[in-house]
Amino acid sequence: MRNRDIERELFIELINYQLKDHGVTYDDVKDNPQWYMEYKTTQEKEQKFIKHITETVVNTLGLDVKQAEKEAQWFILQWGLTTSSTEYISPSKKNSEPVKIKKKN
Looking at the structure of the chain, the number of domains it has is 1
Q: What is the DSSP string of 35-50?
A: HHHHSEE-HHHHHHHH
Q: What is the DSSP letter of 96?
A: S
Using the predicted structure, report yes or no on whether residue 7 has a pLDDT greater than 80: yes
pTM across the whole model: 0.75
Q: What is the mean pLDDT of the chain?
A: 85
103 occurs within a structural domain = no
pLDDT digits (tens, 9 = 90+) for 47-98: 999 999 999 999 999 999 999 999 999 999 999 999 976 544 434 444 445 4
Q: Are 26 and 70 in contact (CB under 8 A)?
A: no
Range of the domain at 16: 3-94
9 occurs within a structural domain = yes
